[in-house]
Amino acid sequence: MKNKIKFLVLLILNQIISGNVLKCGNGLLKHKEPGIINDIQNKRVLAESDWEPIKIYVDYTQLKIDTKDYPDIFNKIKDSLDSAVHYYESLIMVKPTSIEKMTSDIYAKECDIDNVDKNISNFYQNYSLMLFPSFKYDDPIPNVYASAYSCLVLSSSKRPCAGRIFIENNIDFKKNNIKIFLQTILFHEIAHIFVFDPHLLSNLKMIRTVYKDDEAIPMVVSQKVLEKARLHFNCDTLEGLALENQGGEGSAGSHWESRYMLGDFMVSNNYLENVISDITLALFEDSGWYKVNYYTGGLFRFGKNEGCSFFERKCIEDKKSVFPKEFCDKKMEPRCLNSHLGMGECYIQEYEKGEIPSKYQYFNDEKKGGLFNVEFCPVADLYFNADKDNSYFESNCRYGESLNIFNHYGEVIGNKSICFESSLVPRYSPLPYKWRSICYPIECDRKNKKIIVHVNDLSVECPTKGGMLKKIKGFKGKINCPEYDLICTSDIWCNEMFECIDKKCITDEKNYIANNSVDDL
């Protein structure tokens, strides 16, 4: 047991060193099987109109901690959790049900709740799901921010109807962007209560274990997940989508495999990009418990249209990236993250000898590799800047923070900005001429299928197929444009996952066409 704990701690510390750490310790919770509430559900085939938006009740009576900052911390968590609940109530619909009998004792017994809200007995007259958030500050795991599990299910369908959320002490509540950070973490945790839990998925027979190189890999094989995954990756023969098999019990089996789904909000690592994929929403539907609104905005772009070889080949072969849009091979090369929501650089680090399994060694140096949870594949990761370490998501184009010098390059952090790789500088400026990832505001010209980029007072048209712009009036340098169909994927454009739900941005599946590669930087 001691060796197992030591190994887990080493894995987590390894991720801390890499700058890309676990955000969720769901698999570390040694919880029992959910209790059962007897309910009566209409047995007839329900019409579309019989589904109703899910209503979620949050009992905050458990959310207590002995600290002078408690009122401020409580309000920040409550504000963020209420927002996360609001978005799920827009996304998810459930079948109506009625409870035969309900007392507060069942919550105390099955959910380990000491002090239950006095109105709890009337809960299921108006709500479909109960959440119990609380702090878990005893025996914290380094850099695990939260965890969650379902503690009660309905007898008729086994749909979860109550769950616990635990908030660890690794969150800095004084940092900038704490609300969006908490909102993203809690949105992730609620998904574990809804369905994204290995016990629930196994009971639903949505998982099949396959063996590759003597390693057991859990794969989601349900119908709608396969349909959406085959469409996204452009692979008609895909037979399953892998769950995480690294990171120990904290992440393995309870999150998507980051090697294929990096950027989706249900990967285990704390990545700069957090978006909702159609694939994750399809997993909700495949349970049979939910209908979903696909308000994703098409923001999930990792592996898009890469074909079946994306699952068959290594990310790096002969020291070169096989899939340049997803994986990189030049350490610290300026790179936008895959969905162009954040600025970063190619992350390659030196590990200790023996840390990288031989099958994940892509370079001549056995100690050289990328991010741990991405099977050591090199990908774009956020810039780390000590001056901006007072903020979460500091390199995000929507709500991050700009380096002061970048203001002179025309950078704008804001609602309409996305990331570009650029070497643009004003023609007569003494500023250094070099490549950087940088945020510029854009517009989608839907008539001409062009991305319009605004750099200072200049508006520049990108080619529809993307590529390098080399001659820009008043500037020296170049700008690498993404493809129009990669960015402008919905009739009402949005570039942040919660905004996409508010605006009801539905992915345009006609835009799932092959993307042309662009010249090397």
* pLDDT tens, residue by residue, 449-503: 999 999 988 999 999 999 999 888 888 899 999 999 999 988 899 999 999 999 9
Q: From the centroid of its chain, how far is CA 248?
A: 19
The predicted-structure confidence for 279-320, as pLDDT tens digits, reads as follows 999 999 999 999 999 999 999 999 999 999 999 999 999 999
C-alpha span between 223 and 206 (Å, rounded): 9
- Residue 406: what pLDDT? 67
Output the CA angle 171-503-341, nearest 5 degrees: 50
Q: From the centroid of its chain, how far is CA 265?
A: 2
Query: What percentage of the chain carries pLDDT values higher than 90?
Result: 59
- Residue 2: what pLDDT? 38
**CATH 3.10.170 given to domain 20-174:** yes
DSSP secondary structure letters along 218-273 = EEE--HHHHHHHHHHHT-TT---EEBP--SGGGTTTSSB-HHHHTTBTTBSB--S-
- Residue 513: what pLDDT? 47
pLDDT band at 214 (very low <50, low <70, confident <90, very high): confident
Please state the φ and ψ torsions of residue 281, each to the nearest 5 degrees.
Answer: -65, -35
Of the two residues 140 and 466, the one the predictor is more confident about is 466
- Residue pair 475/456 in contact by the 8 Å Cβ criterion: no
- Residue pair 294/506 in contact by the 8 Å Cβ criterion: yes
Residues 6+ positions from 512 with CB-CB distance below 8 Å: 231, 232, 234, 304, 305
Decide if pLDDT at 102 tops 70: no
Of the two residues 26 and 358, the one the predictor is more confident about is 358
pLDDT band at 11 (very low <50, low <70, confident <90, very high): very low
The predicted-structure confidence for 41-94, as pLDDT tens digits, reads as follows 554 445 556 899 999 999 998 898 878 888 999 999 999 999 999 999 999 999
For 261, half-sphere exposure in the C-beta direction (CA atoms, 13 angstrom radius) is 25
Give the DSSP H/E element, type plus range, for residue 11. Answer: helix 2-18
C-alpha span between 401 and 135 (Å, rounded): 29
Mean of pLDDT values over 8-14: 35
- Residue 519: what pLDDT? 36
Task: From 225, 243, 227, 242, select the one nearest 284 (Cα to Cα).
Answer: 225
The predicted-structure confidence for 426-436, as pLDDT tens digits, reads as follows 887 777 778 99
- The full set of domain ranges for the chain reads 20-174
C-alpha span between 275 and 77 (Å, rounded): 21
C-alpha span between 110 and 116 (Å, rounded): 12
- Residue pair 220/198 in contact by the 8 Å Cβ criterion: no
- Residue pair 421/346 in contact by the 8 Å Cβ criterion: no
In the block, tokens 């290995």 appear at 198
- Residue 516: what pLDDT? 37
C-alpha span between 477 and 427 (Å, rounded): 9
Query: What percentage of the chain carries pLDDT values higher than 70?
Result: 83
Decide if pLDDT at 127 tops 70: yes
- Residue 170: what pLDDT? 85
Mean of pLDDT values over 246-250: 56
The lowest-confidence range among 87-96, 112-121, 353-362, 375-384 is 112-121
Decide if pLDDT at 206 tops 70: yes
The chain-wide mean pLDDT, for the chain, equals 85
pLDDT band at 518 (very low <50, low <70, confident <90, very high): very low
pLDDT band at 407 (very low <50, low <70, confident <90, very high): low
Decide if pLDDT at 333 tops 90: yes
- Residue 159: what pLDDT? 95
In the block, tokens 């035969």 appear at 100
Helices (H), 22-156: 70-91, 105-110
Distances (CA, A) of 349 to 271, 274, 372, 415, 436: 17, 23, 10, 33, 20
- Residue 515: what pLDDT? 41
- Residue 34: what pLDDT? 85
